[in-house]
Structure 1
Amino acid sequence: MASRPFFLAASTLAASALAVALPAGPARADDTALFAPPVPAIVTSGPLTFAPLVRKVVPAVVNIAVTQDADDRAKRQPVPPGVKGTPFEHRFRDRMRSRGEEMIGAGSGFIIDPGGVIVTNTHVVGEADRITVSLSDGTEYPARLVGSDDLTDIAVISIQAPNPLPYVTWGDSRQVNVGDWIMAAGNPFGLGSSVTAGIVSARGRDIGASPFDDFLQLDAPINPGNSGGPSFNLGGQVVALNTAIVSPTGGSVGIGFGIPSEIVAPIVAELRRSGHIDRGWLGVTLADGDRHAGVRITDIDRGGPAEKAKLRTGDIVLTVGEEPVDSARTLIRAVAAEHPGSTVQVHIRRRATEMTVPVIVGHRPADMDD
């Protein structure tokens, strides 16, 4: 279906080019051949089929089932949306009851290391007593949680397999443009390995999930159960971690969101290294919308890094390190990227005077939402 409008556009362009090449002056009888319908152009800039890409990457995409012990609390939980209403709901209920477990979630992930390191979403695996990973060939392995980050909804799990596993690599999401082809893979509605294709609809989407929102918006159909799965560029590299959808029906309406690889990859590397993410903290309340560049400090936390550095209410923060600040969200991200205990140069405007203040970055409290 996607190739038809592409084909028609190319045909239109070919006809326009032919019209420009026609000789000027009145038409003659022997000119009629010039007006014959042009031969439709063959489009080569887009994929004629995604099959080679599917064969290349899908073996590294996994299905994830999450279970808890079937105590009274778990028994009262509804069937997860990734399974509810599908042909597998009854089977999952029977399977969990026979094991003394209760199914609480189903999602997707992808292998990034032949040793069995898998990336997924925190909301897929965060409440699990047990995590089971199914490969594309149906083989199942128990998995352990390596680390997770609630603020970005990124998690890393791992499995132990007797042989090296197929894996995929990161692409550079900074090179992804609106209108580029994208292919999403995962486990929608518990049906097993599936792929969908579409384009990148927008960049830099903020959906209010956290102060670190910077989603790629995708129109490739993403449904419950796709969470934690990858979106690929045409080179077979992962450029987004599928995370959320907007839907009044519970299914895909063509608005899905993926975390760009430029955000996911370094967080995954840190989770693999330490199992958690340490973020910097300034200890200020901020307000956007100042008439000039920068962000205004409206309040300062007592005993926080900003107070110790002698920042004041009313100061306008212009840059953090080398990062220009144009919104509260930009400042939060810039400070969060600094390692706690490091010193960052904060350039401010205080009344009519600009100055640079060195601030020793604090450790972002775990219970902070913004």
Structure 2
Amino acid sequence: MHRPASRLLPVLLLGIPGLTMQTVAACAQGAASPAPQPTPSLFAAPVAPVVSSGPLTFAPLVRQVGPAVVNIAVSQSAQDSRQAPGHQPLPPSVKGTPFEHRFRERMRAHGEEMLGAGSGFLIDPTGVIVTNAHVVGGADQITVSLADGAEYPAQLVGSDDLTDIAVIQIRAPRPLPFVPWGDSRLVNIGDWIMAAGNPFGLGSSVTAGIVSARGRDIGTGPFDDFFQIDAPINPGNSGGPSFNLGGQVVAVNTAIVSPTGGSVGIGFGLPSEIVAPIVEELRRKGRIDRGWLGVTLADGPGHGGVQIVGIDRDGPAMKAHLHIGDVIIAVNDEPIDTSRMLIRSIAAKQPESTVVLHIRRHHEILGLNACVGHRPDEDPED
């Protein structure tokens, strides 16, 4: 399968590390592909900006959305975390910050090792929270702190490593404040954006900037399609929201480019058009089912389409009688120009559904029916 050239800049996932934050090589893990576009009902109707005459102040916006932004602490029993590879007794990004004593106090009180801290946001009054999968992955206990200081234990509802999205839930004795999704497809390069979260475990903070670019592939997975933002975000901001000026969530902050470990003004948020349907499916099923074809791909040599350079034995492509060397030019009536487009198209299909693959074999155009398979957990190419 075609893979983009390696990059040289270090990309950091933004959970404060013990075991939860990692420095990832900035080489691609697969062809990037956005998730299927969500139905319009997932998004709130566009609204007039809270800051109506230019961002002279973000204070009204902070008051509107701040109560729905949460801080997340994750822990593991001291015995288990000592046995975990890469264990560090205290997250290095916490050392020297005012949050260090809270980590140490909790460790002493509960016999636990703190794996890290991150951010999240409430999306309905029953306590459903969206965050990053790398924030809560591997945790024995998840503790959520609300803006008013109340703390609640949280349960993992479901997570999706390929998009780095997780859903957790808390139970509170009252309805909780929440924020709506905004439609990230309406966000333009240059639009104002406000990021909120828990940088370095210090507690709730906000920063502002603009959307610097769209469609960034940062090499963290096969579905990379990030906003690049210049609102400063740091370790601990992972899972926090980025808002438009109407107070709607248009991205989930996930990673930064950083040679120093802190913000240099290049951050990445996963757009709501990808996150919202992932969240809905995690709430329904606790996992994500994606379509799979069972092929290794290379972009076609100048004639459009995607060439098959390998086929999984007994996979959907083999059963559909595809051959190595075939060039897939369309799925149903959707033209395919790159391996990224094919992965996006097949992943969006329901497993066990049937698609028509239009292929070029030698000088002949054929249409073959293929029964889409279930994408295996080991992250195949397609």
Based on CA coordinates, which of the two structures has the bigger radius of gyration? 1
Q: Distance in 1 between matches of 2:205 and 2:311?
A: 50
Q: CA deviation at 1:320?
A: 1.7
Residue 54 of structure 1 aligns with an amino acid whose one-letter code is V
Q: 2:250 aligns with which of 220, 233, 239?
A: 239
Q: 1:331 to 1:94 in 2, by over 3 A?
A: same
| 1:199-257 Cα deviation digits (max 9, x unpaired) | 00000000111110000000000100000000000110000000000000000000000
Q: 1:243 to 1:81 in 2, by over 3 A?
A: farther
Residue 201 of structure 1 aligns with an amino acid whose one-letter code is S
Q: Distance in 2 between matches of 1:287 and 1:59?
A: 47
Between the two structures, name the one with larger relative contact order (CA 8 Å, sep ≥ 6): 2
Q: 1:322 to 1:119 in 2, by over 3 A?
A: farther
Aligned to 1:117: 128
Aligned to 2:240: 229
Aligned to 2:69: 61
Q: 1:276 aligns with which of 276, 287, 293?
A: 287
| Contact 2:304 2:338 (8 Å CA) reproduced | no
1:219 pairs with 2:230: yes
Residue 320 of structure 1 aligns with an amino acid whose one-letter code is V
Q: 1:288 to 1:45 in 2, by over 3 A?
A: farther
Aligned to 2:33: none
1:139 pairs with 2:147: no
| Contact 2:294 2:380 (8 Å CA) reproduced | no
Q: Distance in 2 between matches of 1:132 and 1:44?
A: 36
Q: 1:92 to 1:342 in 2, by over 3 A?
A: same
Q: Distance in 2 between matches of 1:78 and 1:118?
A: 28
Q: Which runs of 5+ in 2 are unaligned?
A: 1-50
Q: Distance in 2 between matches of 1:281 and 1:68?
A: 35
Residue 356 of structure 2 aligns with an amino acid whose one-letter code is Q
Q: Distance in 2 between matches of 1:129 and 1:249?
A: 30
Q: CA deviation at 1:134?
A: 0.1
Q: Distance in 1 between matches of 2:228 and 2:125?
A: 30
Q: Distance in 2 between matches of 1:325 and 1:81?
A: 45
Q: Distance in 1 between matches of 2:299 and 2:149?
A: 51
Q: Percent identity?
A: 75
1:187 pairs with 2:195: no
Q: What does 1:37-52 align with in structure 2 at a 5 Å threshold?
A: 46-52=54-60
Q: Distance in 1 between matches of 2:93 and 2:350?
A: 37
1:354 pairs with 2:362: no
| 1:317-340 Cα deviation digits (max 9, x unpaired) | 112234322211221121111111
Q: What does 1:303-342 align with in structure 2 at a 5 Å threshold?
A: 303-342=314-353
Give me the TM-score of the superposition, normalised by structure 1.
0.86
Q: Work out the number of aligned pairs and report it.
A: 328
Give me the TM-score of the superposition, normalised by structure 2.
0.83
Q: Distance in 1 between matches of 2:331 and 2:92?
A: 42
Q: 1:266 to 1:81 in 2, by over 3 A?
A: farther
C-alpha RMSD over aligned residues = 1.5
Moved over 4 A (4+): none
Q: Distance in 2 between matches of 1:360 and 1:369?
A: 17
